[in-house]
């Protein structure tokens, strides 16, 4: 019974598990999350100061701006912090970072619409404040996109390295489990067979000449 093969497979499995569970690295998004939290808080304050009821605009325009403003404040106060917490809890998770990036894009689009309406119907101070907020938000979402791409590239490289290591270990395990073939070389000299000697034929007597 070959006991070597199970031992090699167990070692291979243990090594694979260790490679598949690396230590969680520091998130490249850590610095951006702090800035994003500050921008989100300031944007909520600036949106709260907008007095849509004083606008000289149609009721539908005011209702749309008011609904968008309320949705933004809820998102920036609840949904966005929750997504940032998920990124902090899973610093190497591309999925968590991607959810945050998508939400940030949605916030940016709605905030751009509200800022445009404030510029058309609101006060100059409100417009300048929201313009600063959306500029900061745009910078952060671009930074987040770059960091997200970097995280994906790093994980792709780590996965490729893991595949190569596993392949090398599997090949080593297969080689170790294959029994060696014994080649027997017989170097003893075989006795040479005697070559039979050819018998010489007896000379024939000369034929008698006719008289």
pLDDT at 208 (0 to 100): 55
Residue 165 has a pLDDT of 72
pLDDT reading at 189 higher than 70: no
Residue 160: CB atoms within 10 Å: 10
pLDDT digits (tens, 9 = 90+) for 143-170: 998 888 887 766 666 666 676 777 777 7
For the cut 90, the answer to whether the pLDDT of residue 139 exceeds it is yes
- Rounded mean pLDDT of the chain? 79
What fold, for 30-163? 1.20.120
Widest pairwise Cα distance in the chain: 168
- Are the CB atoms for 30 and 199 separated by under 8 Å? no
The pLDDT of residue 100: 94
pLDDT of residue 177: 74
75-114 burial, b at 16+ Cβ within 10 Å, e below that, comes to bbeeebbebbeebeeebbbeebbeebbebbeebeebbeeb
Portion of the chain with pLDDT greater than 70, in percent: 64
38-52, 60-74, 95-109, 155-169, range with the lowest pLDDT: 155-169
Identify the three-state secondary structure at position 50: coil
b/e burial code for range 39-63 (CB count within 10 A of at least 16 → b): bbeebbebbeebebeebeeeeeebe
In order, the DSSP letters of 151-176 are: HHHHHHHHHHHHHHHHHHHHHHHHHH
Q: Where do the domains of the chain lie? A: 30-163
How many CA within 13 A on the CB side of residue 61? 15
72-96 mean pLDDT: 92
């Amino acid at each position: 019974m070959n006991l070597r093969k199970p031992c090699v497979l167990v070692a291979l499995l243990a090594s694979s598990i260790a490679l598949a569970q690396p230590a969680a690295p520091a998130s490249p998004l850590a610095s951006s999350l702090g800035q994003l939290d500050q921008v989100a808080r300031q944007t909520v304050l600036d949106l709260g100061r907008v007095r849509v009821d004083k606008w000289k605009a149609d009721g539908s325009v005011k209702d749309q701006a008011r609904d968008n403003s309320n949705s933004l404040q809820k998102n920036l106060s609840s949904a966005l912090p929750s997504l940032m917490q998920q990124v902090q809890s899973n610093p190497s998770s591309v999925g968590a970072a991607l959810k945050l990036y998508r939400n940030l894009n949605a916030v940016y689009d709605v905030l751009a619409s509200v800022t445009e309406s404030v510029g058309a119907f609101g006060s100059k101070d409100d417009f300048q404040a929201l313009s600063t907020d959306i500029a900061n938000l745009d910078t952060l979402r671009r930074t987040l996109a770059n960091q997200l791409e970097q995280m994906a590239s790093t994980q792709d490289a780590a996965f490729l390295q893991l595949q190569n290591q596993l392949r090398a270990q599997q090949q080593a395990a297969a080689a170790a489990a294959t029994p060696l073939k014994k080649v027997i070389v017989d170097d003893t000299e075989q006795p040479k067979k005697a070559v039979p000697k050819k018998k010489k034929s007896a000379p024939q007597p000369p034929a008698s000449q006719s008289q």
